[in-house]
Amino acid sequence: MSARERADVAAAPSPDPSDGSPCRDHVVVSLPSHSMPARLLERHASHLPALEHRALLDGLVTAHDPSARVVVVASSEPAPDVLDHYARLARPGDPDDARRRVTCLVVPDDGPRGIAAKLLDRPDLLDRLRRQVGATPAVIEPWNVTDDELAVAQALGVPLNGGPAELWPLGFKSASRRLFRECDVAVPVGVEDVRSNDEVAVAVRTILRERPLVERVVVKLDNSGAGEGNLVLLVRDDEGRSLPDDALVAALARLSPPAFLRDLALGGVVEELVTGEVVGSPSAQVEIGRDGEVVVRSTHEQLLGGEDGQVFVGSRFPADAAHASEVATQAAAVARRLAERGAVGWLSVDFVAARGAGGRTLVAVDLNLRKGGTSHSYAALRHLAPGVYETQSGRWLADDGGERHYRSSDDVEVGRGVTAAHVIAALEAAGLAFDPVARTGVVLHMFPSLDDRGTVGATAIGRTAEEAERLFDAASAALRTA
């Protein structure tokens, strides 16, 4: 692909009529291609259909834009009940219209690869997608942009709202720490470009010279996501003395699966584990337009779980008012620097916010040059309760004049063997389904997780944070007993 061709397909404006501007007929090709490291794809192969089906929430754009058609590319067919459910959400007065304008192109391949790579192996399906788009103006909304997604865009002759692919490594941990410092955005004390157990031990010594009271560090693989690829390492013994290098090396070897140490050879970072009396994980989503304009779309409080509290499990919107504006300002500064390098489309910046006797700390810990774990829940909000995110006040002001907040999770327990139709009916019977008049209620997603994990995703939208939390808790209880 020539440099000019790459530039043509690597960027495009994202049609977003939720801001009230008129749009002509257009097609949005939602391409939830998870071009993640092989270790993550293999680990989550059975869960990929659920992750891909989060993109069905893009179809809710038809709630307020009769000019849009949406084609979601996925490796599994959504159940008719699911598509009907989203159609009723989008157009309660005319669900048949929404149903006609949202379709799914299925690439029947359950292997551990991103959907773009799978689609490239099927020229017949590429041709079908090309015919579905036809001569109508179109844009591809990718989850991320690597060479595979660019190849799909070139084959279709449709621009991407993302890329270019050569910037992808800037989202790796070592590169993002350097980028944050370029933008005067604070980072935890740490060391980049660590590639072995021995280098981890050296990095710990470097951190302890600057932060003598640190008790734990986080070892992060450069190319990782959602907190997977992070390992928390205790650097002191039971009496509070710093561990010698050989003990650190032994502890890392004991705690690390073989794949972790193998991938560490490709690069990683070691950072202090930021602590405090209160510790949060705020993030900001930013979109860079083709003209270089930077718009902060949202801030969130990420909810983390897993053994070491490093894995994304859900979110609250918006971020805490104590730091929402600062989070937005710093993320925008990073996005402007990336825009200067040619970046387009969605990105998110994750932070750690800590408060304690020593004061308040806000440091950037991750850069995602892609959509992330908060993107699909935000899509539900902006399409079903359209409005604008005010970066200074940290509020979502819906076009009915009221605020909106939400609580979201991808892992609401239901139980294996329960059908999507049953879950949808249970939510409606409990009176918790999204109300298009009040523009509050619960939106479900990730239905393939019912078979894979016995869970479903849910985003509870309320006029206050308390209402959103009550709706979420009530929905969780109703679905557990469905």
Residues 220 and 333 in one domain: no
Tell me whether residue 177 is in a domain.
no
Cβ-Cβ contacts under 8 Å for 152 (sequence gap 6 or more): 31, 33, 116, 119, 120, 126, 140
Residues 40 and 160 in one domain: yes
Q: Rounded to the nearest 10 degrees, how much is the dihedral formed by the CA atoms of 56, 60, 65, 69?
A: 20
The CATH number covering residue 449 comes to 3.30.1370
The CATH number covering residue 233 comes to 3.30.1490
pLDDT of residue 310: 63
pLDDT of residue 227: 58
Longest CA–CA span in the chain (Å) reads: 71
The CATH number covering residue 367 comes to 3.30.470.20
Tell me whether residue 232 is in a domain.
yes
CA dist 164 and 150 (Å) reads 8
Tell me whether residue 409 is in a domain.
yes
CA dist 434 and 436 (Å) reads 6
Residues 283 and 211 in one domain: no
Residues 224 and 330 in one domain: no
Residues 20 and 154 in one domain: yes
Q: How many domains does the chain have?
A: 4
Mean pLDDT per 10-residue section of the chain, whose length is 482 residues? 39 43 81 83 84 94 91 96 95 94 95 94 97 95 94 96 92 97 98 96 96 94 77 91 92 86 92 92 95 96 76 90 96 98 95 89 94 92 96 95 97 90 96 97 96 94 98 96 75
Residues 281 and 375 in one domain: yes
Tell me whether residue 41 is in a domain.
yes
CA dist 131 and 405 (Å) reads 39
CA dist 275 and 357 (Å) reads 11
Q: Report CA-CA distances (Å) from 423 to 12, 262, 443, 458.
A: 37, 42, 11, 11
Residue at token pair 């660590």: 194
Q: What are phi and psi of 193, to 5 degrees?
A: 55, 40
The pTM of the full predicted model, rounded to 2 decimals, is: 0.91
pLDDT of residue 23: 61
Q: Which domain holds residue 206?
A: 189-272
CA dist 324 and 310 (Å) reads 21
Tell me whether residue 356 is in a domain.
yes
Instruction: Classify 102 as helix, strand or coil.
Output: strand
Residues 265 and 289 in one domain: no
Residues 289 and 347 in one domain: yes
pLDDT of residue 104: 96
pLDDT of residue 359: 84
Tell me whether residue 459 is in a domain.
yes
Residues 153 and 293 in one domain: no
Residues 183/408, Cβ–Cβ less than 8 Å:
no
Cβ-Cβ contacts under 8 Å for 385 (sequence gap 6 or more): 396, 398, 400, 404, 439, 440, 461
pLDDT of residue 21: 47
Tell me whether residue 184 is in a domain.
no
Tell me whether residue 176 is in a domain.
no
Residues 304 and 376 in one domain: yes
Q: Give the DSSP letter string of 39-57.
A: HHHHHTGGGHHHHHHGGGG
pLDDT of residue 417: 82
Structure tokens at 120: 């490239």
Residues 293 and 375 in one domain: yes
Looking at 215, 242, 272, the residue that finishes a domain is 272
Residues 459 and 432 in one domain: yes
pLDDT of residue 425: 96
Looking at 214, 249, 272, the residue that finishes a domain is 272
CB count, 10 Å around CB of 11?
24
Looking at 272, 299, 327, the residue that finishes a domain is 272
Outline where 289-439 has alpha helix (H).
Answer: 324-340, 375-384, 420-429
